Each structure stands twice: as C-alpha cells, then as structure tokens.
Amino acid sequence: MRGLLLCLSVALTAALWAQRYVEEYRLKPEDVISVRLSGDPNPLFRGFISRDGNITIPMIGEVRAAGLTIAELKRVIEREFRRREIYLQPDVVITLEQFHRPRVSVLGFVYRPGTYEFKENDRLLDALALGGGVNVERARLQEAWLQRADGTKIPIDLYRLLYEGDLSQNILLQDGDTIFVPEETQNRYFVGGQVKRPGLYTWRPNLTVLDALSQAGWETERGRLSQTFVIRQTPDGKEQKIRVDMVRLLRKGDMKQNIALQPGDVVYVSETDTPDFDRIYRVLSIAWILRQLDYGRSLWRP
C-alpha cells in the first residue's frame, strides 16, 4: 500500500510539473497546436506554427503565436473575437500537441551529411557525431563554420577541437543551425620510386615518412632505403631535398630519420646500384628463345 501511494505521489508530482512547464513554455515555429472554442469539438486551427511564427484563425486571419505562452495566445485570440464583435464572451481552448524538435544540418565532409534532430544543450561535437563524424582525411578542419538561422556565420577550427582539446570550439547548438565542413584540396602527398604502390595519398596530421612508405608498400627488392628523400617546397618557392636513412631508422631505431611530412611533400625511394639479375635473366631468356626460333626457321628454309 505504501509503495502504491509513493507511485501515485510521484506521478502526481510529474503531472503537475509537466503542466506548469507547458503553461510557462513559449511557443516556437513548427510546434503543433490546436485552437478551438469551448464546447465545440471542431478546431478553428490545428497544425504547425509557421516558420515565420504565425497561425491563421478563421474570421480573424493571421495571429502571431511564436514567442507567446498558451495563456497569452488565448487572450490575444479572445480579444480579437471581441474586437471584431464575432463573439462577445469567447472561451478559447489551446492545446500544445507536439513540441517543435530542434534540427541541425551537418553538411560537407562528414560521413553521413543530412539534417538531424538534437536535444537541448547539445553541442557541435554532438551534431558531428549525428553526421557520422568528420572525414579527417579529406576535410579542411581549420576552416569549418557554423551558420545560425538568422544568417550569423561563426568560424570553427575543428583541428583545435579534435586534436588539441580546445572546447571553446564546441559551440552550443541552436535550432536551425547549419554546420559545414569544407574539403581540403591541398592535403596531398606523393610517394614514388621503388615502392609497390606509387601514387598520390591523403595527408593527415602527425603523418611521418614511415607511415607514408608503409601505405605505399616500400618493401621492394630494388629499393635503396638508405637513399630515401623527402622533396619539399619551401615558402620562398625553392625546392628542399631532405635525405632520410630508413636503414638507420629500422635497424638502429634512429627516430630522427622518421620526419613528419607536410602537405605537398614528395617521398622518393631510390633504386639500388646492385645489378638487377632478374631483369638480366629475363632479357637473356628472351634472346635465347628468339635465337632458337630463328634457328628453327633456317632448317625449313628451301
């Protein structure tokens, strides 16, 4: 019995709190409400509050609803009925049927771009998580931005947020926000020479020579790892050639050789000076076959 009374008390408290919350709540665009006269089951209006904050009531026209409480909107509609002498003592009943669900658009180089509902007090990182996270290999992290519904544009440095823990970039969301993560077109590097998969790759923060060579498959028989080079463009437009001895790195753990790469770098693995016996063998084999074919033809020559 005591447990039942406790449950009833909790339920009553929750109901009173919910009622007070609704009474104090200020209506927002896209809330769903119904408006009717007391004793009449047919609504005068039922639907969304428009994006500009208005509803349309028969015989009255447009009425501003957004920003008002239910009680305030009730008084506005009743006053209009009396002023127009449509009803002398109108009793308007307004029901909030569904709260507007705040939305944020997450666009650009995230894995699932789209528009998502979010919760009160959610922040930028929550929105990015709804979008599947940032595609860090293709995104220009330092130049993202957030735009408010009123057009205000706020620059965001996602690199500082994601890699340096700068929570000042983790902005509190507002309804109608749009987050855009642009593409990074300059974050590329090239690996060439004696590697299995030469080509253009996407740069990412903290990338090193060893990372780049591992991605390109540097374990080839003709690679001269002690003569690996990083070719870099300096700010004054000149070309800088940095020698990297991968043998010292791999055999002696000399981490000074494992330099960090920059966007636009070229990593090149030189070819060894040792004769390529495999190539020589293939050439000689082909020559021998051709000679035998020529000898066979001479036997049948009339």
For the ranges 19-23, 88-92, 122-126, 240-244, the lowest mean pLDDT is seen at: 19-23
CATH superfamily of 14-98: wza like domain (3.30.1950.10)
Mean local confidence (pLDDT), 25-33? 89
Instruction: Confirm whether 14-98 and 103-181 share one CATH topology.
Output: no
**In the predicted model, is pLDDT for residue 295 greater than 60?**
no
Mean pLDDT, the chain, whole residue set: 83
| Residue 56 confidence (pLDDT) | 93
The pLDDT assigned to 294 comes to 56
Q: Which residue has the higher pLDDT, 74 or 272?
A: 74
Residue 252 confidence class, pLDDT cut points 50, 70, 90: confident
What is the predicted pLDDT for the residue at 22?
Answer: 59
Question: What's the rounded Cα separation, in Å, for the pair 101 and 48?
Answer: 12
Under CATH, which number does the domain 188-271 receive?
3.10.560.10
Model confidence at 2, pLDDT cuts 50, 70, 90, reads low
Q: What was the pLDDT predicted at 280?
A: 47
Q: Look-up: residue for tokens 């063998």?
A: 281
* Predicted pLDDT of residue 63: 93
Tens digit of pLDDT for each residue in 74-132?
999 999 999 998 998 999 999 998 888 888 999 999 999 999 999 889 999 999 999 99
Q: What is the pLDDT of residues 195-224, one digit of tens each?
A: 889 988 888 888 999 999 888 887 777 778
pLDDT at 15: 44
Say how far residue 75 (Cα) sits from the centre of its chain: 45
Sorted by where each begins, the domain ranges of the chain are 14-98, 103-181, 188-271
| pLDDT mean over 45-60 | 91
Q: Among 74-83, 175-184, 216-225, 283-292, whose mean pLDDT is lowest? A: 283-292
The alpha-carbon radius of gyration of the chain (Å, integer) is 36
The pLDDT score that the predictor gives to residue 299 is 44
Residue 292 pLDDT grade (very low, low, confident, very high; cuts 50, 70, 90): low
Predicted confidence at residue 287, as pLDDT, reads 52
Cα–Cα nearest to 190, from 208, 212, 166:
212
Query: What is the pLDDT confidence band of residue 139, given thresholds at 50, 70 and 90?
Result: confident
Which residues on adjacent β-strands are paired with residue 145? 155, 180
pLDDT for residue 10:
44
Across 41-73, b (16+ Cβ under 10 Å) vs e yields eeebbeeebeeebebebeebeebebbebbbeeb
Percentage of the chain beyond pLDDT 90 is 46
Q: How sure is the predictor about 60, in pLDDT bands with cuts at 50, 70 and 90?
A: very high
Closest CA to 66 of 28, 22, 21, 25: 28
CB-neighbour burial class of residue 194 (10 A; exposed 0-12, middle 13-18, buried 19+): buried
pTM of the model: 0.52
Residue 293 pLDDT > 80, yes or no? no
Tell me the fold of 103-181: Outer membrane lipoprotein wza fold like (3.10.560)
**Helix ranges, the chain (H):** 2-24, 70-83, 124-130, 158-164, 209-216, 246-252, 277-299
Residue 161 pLDDT greater than 90, yes or no: yes
pLDDT at 101 (0 to 100): 84
The pLDDT of residue 9 is above 60: no
